[in-house]
Amino acid sequence: MKPCKLSRRAFVRAGGSAGALLVFGLRTGPGEASPAVVLAPNLFVSMDARGAVFITVSRGEMGQGVRTVLPRILADELEADLERVDIVQALADPRYGDQNTDSSRSVRMLWGPLRQAGAAAREMLVHAAADYWKLPAAQCRARHHAVEHPPSGRRIDYAQLVARAARLPVPENPPLKDPADFRYIGVSAPMRDARDIVTGVATYGYDVRLPGMKYACVARAPVFDARLRSVDDTAARAVPGVEGILRIPFSAHPRGFRPEEGVAVLADSSWSAMRGRDALVLDWSFGPNANYETAAFREELRQSVRAPGKLRLQRGNVAAALAGPGTLIESEYETAMLAHAPMEPPVAVAWVRDGGCEIWAPVQNPQDVRLKVAEWLGLPPARITVNVTLLGGAFGRKSQADFVFEAVEVSRQSGLPVKLFWTREDDIRNCYFHAESLHRMEARIGPDGLPVGWRMRTAYPTMDWIGESDAEYPGPWETGMGLTNMPFAVDNLLIEACRARVPIRIGWLRSVCNLWHAFALNGFIDEMAAATNADPVAYRLRLLGEDRVFDAPNEEPDALSNFSGLTVDTGRYRRVIEHLAAQVGWGKPLPKGHFRGVAAHNSFYSYVATVVEVEYSGEGEPRVVRIDTAIDCGRVVNPEGVRKQIEGAAIFGLGAALFGEITARDGRVEQSNFGDYRILRMTQAPPVIEAHIMQSDADPGGVGEPPTPTIAPALAAALFAATGARRRNMPLLA
């Protein structure tokens, strides 16, 4: 059987009405035909002799809209006409500062730098016009891609000013616009790349092709840290199109994101590479992780949280409070292991040659890739080029760049440009999984209905294992994502991190630890409210106490600064709950057979509340019919983009809450594709998902991740209202 040379794109197009293709072309620069750039005051903006503006986006586009929202920040300060703006996708380069596209940090970390960059270019153009007119710069102003002199009515286009402006010094602290004068910030806009996406011009990682490029597919260790004893590649070499069998070396701990040991099959097509990979006969030494089995491991975690752990936060005397009078409430919450499962599985193109390496890949953290590939190859970082393609989804998976190392290694050994691709089955079975977790909650309720003492213990494999081979306890930065930074006023509070071994590769997934902690925290608050016959919204507001702002008591604030708010504002937390309750008419009668649940959480410098509504007739399973989420994420640059991310978070969170679960037996993941690792189908999505965006003058907070953690606990509360049964285990319908 000879492999067909039909491309993926040609195959889909050949399907006529049976298929649709979503791809687009990624522009990486102004193009050869553009006039020379003559004004370039900083890394983020430049302008050519036509007055065309080129804005550099230093973060990756994975559907969250950074290529739409980041240019609007800079263009607003520049007073640029967006019709005359083109986007340049940045290469990996430390000069851009942090380029890591995760932790909901793109807007919140680039808000200031991009405003400064745009304002600097604007001021240079204004001074250039004032110099040309021989007028004081204070009498001139930038407006819509030109400089105006209002008293005389004179106006000059930026194109006529760039050469003169380029000779001026770059201002160090240019004045920023009054927010009242914003033209783009705060105004809804469609996704900039949408037309390219739907017309098939795009370049995702899988779309990159180089002359002479070969394809590679890897057989990886089926058990975490397994070692390869022998390889029989006789049958694999006999597959038509197979050109080589190469080894991916074992990397000892701490390995960072270096790959598992494996065997790569190099071929002239992806089909031949996959057939060759399937023909390999491999003998593995599995080691101690072969005993990893889901039910037994969860029992380990359960026993772990029933004993003291490492102290992460202590206020007052919890032991005395729990031993005192009042109602004692005890509960344990459990969440399943999850895979990211982005629509585009991992893929990378690499070409190692001439003492350097060039990479094309959908990576979230290109600078980290650049540095670690340089270390892998023993080359200076300057010899490594990382081109960031569009990311077909990521959710954290593509910041874990083992797939790039695999491509680099196969290219290094073969001397050829190589596209190394993962199948969906590879992605599900060899993910950096979002670990399973156990949380034990104990509280003594006083005469006023509020907890006089509250102890939390949490256990899950720590993500610190990536850099610390002996890490066995959730770190302070992990418990700081939803537990130690919680806003509630409890005088006697104890939070402990309990031991958990690392039997499989784990990493971060959308919302990271907040996904676990918000589920347990909100669920237990609902239990305390029910024990005192209190409305769950009113109970949360009482539990907050007086409005206050405090520094989150984390032991490693520098490590946390990219993950969750170091300052907690309980007033913002209160107002987002009150706002949502008013918007949905909380407390008003619902149609017969309809039930609601509520949850709230603070993460990534934003505050979110969610109400989930279900319909239940008393038979079968309840059906989610509506999700309302309110968010205070500070100043909003693109309201339409925020709405889309809230809708996406609802779908992502609902799928995880209903049936997201990865299980293991004999150290191996049991799931392989969407047939047994379910994601939410369109027919299961609620008919209504409503975003309620609060107005705020605060600096921007996160958007992509904060709306996700509230979905599962709000759904669990709605299911309790409908059925009377507490659901303390995720997935909720397992």
pLDDT, tens digit (0-9, with 9 covering 90-100), for 292-330:
999 999 999 999 999 999 999 999 999 999 999 999 999
Q: What dihedral angle (degrees, nearest 10) is formed by the CA atoms of 643, 646, 647, 652?
A: 160
pLDDT at 21: 23
> Does residue 6 have a pLDDT over 60?
no
> Do 252 and 163 have their domain in common?
no
Q: How far is CA 99 from CA 96, 205, 388, in A?
A: 7, 18, 11
In this prediction, residue 469 has a pLDDT band, given cuts at 50, 70 and 90, of confident
Residue 679 lies in a domain: yes
pLDDT, tens digit (0-9, with 9 covering 90-100), for 166-204:
999 999 999 999 999 999 999 999 998 888 888 888 899
Provide the percentage of residues in the chain whose pLDDT is more than 70: 93
> Do 401 and 524 have their domain in common?
no
pLDDT at 10: 39
> Do 579 and 438 have their domain in common?
yes
pLDDT, tens digit (0-9, with 9 covering 90-100), for 407-444:
999 999 999 999 999 999 999 999 999 999 999 999 99
Q: At 644, which CATH number?
A: 3.30.365.10
DSSP string, 138-172: GG-EE-SSEEEETTTTEEEEGGGTHHHHHTSPPPS
Instruction: Choose one of 358, 391, 421: the last residue of a domain.
Output: 421
> Do 171 and 316 have their domain in common?
no
Structure token pair of residue 59: 């973060």
Residue 65 lies in a domain: yes
> Do 214 and 237 have their domain in common?
yes
Instruction: Choose one of 136, 164, 197: the last residue of a domain.
Output: 197
> Do 410 and 314 have their domain in common?
no
pLDDT at 303: 98
> Does residue 593 have a pLDDT over 60?
yes
Structure token pair of residue 243: 């050109």
> Do 234 and 301 have their domain in common?
no
> Does residue 560 have a pLDDT over 70?
no
> Does residue 572 have a pLDDT over 60?
yes
DSSP string, 379-417: --GGGEEEEE-B-S--TTGGGS-HHHHHHHHHHHHH-S-
Structure token pair of residue 21: 């293709």
Residue 714 lies in a domain: yes
Residue 203 lies in a domain: no
> Do 481 and 594 have their domain in common?
yes
pLDDT at 215: 98
Query: In 256-394, which ranges are E strands?
Result: 262-267, 281-285, 310-315, 327-335, 347-353, 356-361, 384-388
Burial of 210 per CB tally in 10 Å (0-12, 13-18, 19+): middle
pLDDT at 568: 94
Cα–Cα distance measured from residue 734 to residue 303, given in angstroms and rounded to the nearest whole number: 22
75 CB-near residues (< 8 Å, 6+ apart): 53, 55, 82, 85, 118, 184
Cα–Cα distance measured from residue 704 to residue 104, given in angstroms and rounded to the nearest whole number: 6
pLDDT at 23: 25
Residue 20 lies in a domain: no
What is the domain range of residue 715? Answer: 295-337+433-723
Cα–Cα distance measured from residue 353 to residue 584, given in angstroms and rounded to the nearest whole number: 60
Other C-beta atoms within 10 Å of 241: how many?
20
Other C-beta atoms within 10 Å of 356: how many?
15
Number of domain units in the chain: 3
pLDDT, tens digit (0-9, with 9 covering 90-100), for 353-374:
999 999 999 999 999 999 999 9
pLDDT at 565: 60
Cα–Cα distance measured from residue 18 to residue 8, given in angstroms and rounded to the nearest whole number: 14
Instruction: Choose one of 197, 222, 243: the last residue of a domain.
Output: 197
User: Looking at residues 563-571, what average pLDDT do you find?
Assistant: 79
- Which residue's entry shows tokens 């050469």? 163
Rg, the chain, Cα only: 27
> Does residue 32 have a pLDDT over 70?
no
Instruction: State phi, psi for 470 to the nearest 5 degrees.
Output: -105, 15
Residue 733 lies in a domain: no
Helix (H) or strand (E) holding 604: none
Residue 115 lies in a domain: yes
> Do 556 and 606 have their domain in common?
yes
Cα–Cα distance measured from residue 35 to residue 42, given in angstroms and rounded to the nearest whole number: 18
> Do 225 and 257 have their domain in common?
yes
Residue 320 lies in a domain: yes
User: Looking at residues 89-94, what average pLDDT do you find?
Assistant: 94
What mean pLDDT is reported for the chain? 92
pLDDT at 36: 79
> Do 511 and 570 have their domain in common?
yes
In this prediction, residue 564 has a pLDDT band, given cuts at 50, 70 and 90, of low
> Does residue 19 have a pLDDT over 80?
no
pLDDT, tens digit (0-9, with 9 covering 90-100), for 506-545:
999 999 999 999 999 999 999 999 999 999 999 999 999 9
> Do 513 and 557 have their domain in common?
yes
The helix, strand and coil proportions of the chain, stated in percent and rounded to the nearest 5, come to 35, 25, 45
Question: Structure pTM?
Answer: 0.92
